[in-house]
Amino acid sequence: MREFVGAKLHGLRVTGKSLEYEGSASLATSLMEAAGISPYERVYLVNKSTGSRWDTYAIPGREGEFTLNGAAARLGEVGDEILLWTFRQEEQFTGANVVFLNEFNKIERRKTYPAEEPSAVEF
């Protein structure tokens, strides 16, 4: 088994922080559904402002909101742009859902990473 990207949210904006919460990242249920992310599924995050990378789990939140909870609240500020993705284990890559967001955490467009092999890149 290999690990491949399963879903990606691109351009997610931090709208709140809750240091005293027990942990996780909360995001709108509609975004979870659009990308194919289940509640309590492991997610990986990268803060484009700081370069910080970490993993946690996703919990359903309110529309338009993305909150860093627990210790992760120290890894971003309100307004920071975050990349969030999941991985899945499978024999071969079967494709992935990618959801691009605007500055209000609303879906701007969608894309699917194809299951076929990408073309070779020349160096």
Q: Along the 123 residues of the chain, how does pLDDT read in single tens digits?
A: 999 999 999 999 999 999 998 779 999 999 999 999 999 999 999 999 999 999 999 999 999 999 999 999 999 999 999 999 999 999 999 999 999 999 999 999 999 998 666 554 555
Is 24 among the residues known to form the active site?
A: yes
Catalytic residue among 18, 24, 26, 119: 24
Kindly state whether residue 76 falls inside one of the protein's structural domains.
yes
Residue 57 annotated among the catalytic residues of the structure: yes
Structural domain harbouring 17: 2-113
Give SS3 for 98: strand
Q: Which residues pair with 43 in a beta bridge?
A: 56
User: Is residue 23 one of the residues assigned to a domain?
Assistant: yes
120 in any annotated domain: no
- Confidence (pTM): 0.88
Which of 18, 57, 113, 119 is labelled catalytic?
57
**Is 119 within the bounds of a domain?**
no
CATH code, domain carrying 17: 2.40.40.20
Tokens of 82: 């975050």
How many domains would you assign to the chain? 1
